[in-house]
Structure 1
Amino acid sequence: GSVGTALTHWEKRLFEHEIMTGTYTQESVISNLTLALLEDSGWYDVSYEYGKPLLWGRNLGCDFVKTSCKQWIDSKLEQKENPYPFCISSPRPNLLKRICAYTYDKIVMCNLIEYSTPLPNEYQIFDSLPNITDENELARFGGHVMLADYCPYDQELAYKNSNRDSRCYRSENQPP
């Protein structure tokens, strides 16, 4: 993380929805890990029954934690597997493609975007992308969230209209 979150928050790339990542997310949870940290600090008494499950990265093994998202994505694609929890969306023309989340309870879209300048070398993720032929262009693509090391992942859509939500089982929310 940067100055405001480094060494004081969980790493966004590894704990996406956990409230202690230091950034807002649609479905924030306070996990038992955070409750344990608060309790261990000596400043808080906690009730673990209020901890919520942290689904991000669950059951993905040590490689998910120990490798970069580039290494994770590359290894999954090499094995012809989905790079979940990360995503790859064809940046052109389907940049705004919406899909139903793996939990089937929300509409999400891959937060892969094109930046105006190349990302720092350590955050350049892609060796290739559909519809991108210029190697220099590849260096400009990454996830929208810097604190997640520019790793692209599916983010829930938020609607400003109060009578609409993003549950994908509702017919009015089905992607076109």
Structure 2
Amino acid sequence: MVTKWVLLPVPAQDADSIELDIAERQRKRGEPTSPSAGELSDDELASEMLRRTTFGAFIPWPESALERLAAATTETTRRWSIVMTLCAESPGTLFSTTDISERTELTIGEWRTACRHITPHLRKHYKDAPLWGPGLYEGSTEWPLVTMSGRQLKLRHELHVGITEEQAKRWRAVLNRTTQNVA
């Protein structure tokens, strides 16, 4: 097994004991106890920190709002439902626009159109959904997925979306209820 290293901020007073614990675990695995300089780059560390911060700041939607989204009453919400379901299979994973087109029935153009149309749709129909915090979109309705620019992540320059564990749990519960009501 090859160790993949990630940035994990820890309280300074706990850093030494955590470092010792990780070193012990790595020794038991027969793996190096710390990464080499080549295994970590500044870009990778910055991207991982940004990803963790963005996922950590996401406010899950209430199930009532997710139920309306899952009803897929418009082409935009149908497309978002497809992508929500894909993301819910792997919480914490980011999917690029290209990934979405390769793993769903949606074309790149269809997903991009859904992204362009979602903000006005949310503003009109989802007053109970959380609002974006400080930043460019402050006060606008938060999208139901975590969103990041590939540029920020030093990846393909396209939109990347993912879902938190809690949002995925709520989405799956909504889908299960919807499926049971249809059956």
Q: TM-score range by the shorter chain?
A: under 0.3
- Compute the TM-score of the two structures, normalised by the length of structure 2: 0.24
- Compute the TM-score of the two structures, normalised by the length of structure 1: 0.25
Compare CA radii of gyration and give the structure with the larger one.
Answer: 2
Higher helix proportion, which one? Answer: 2
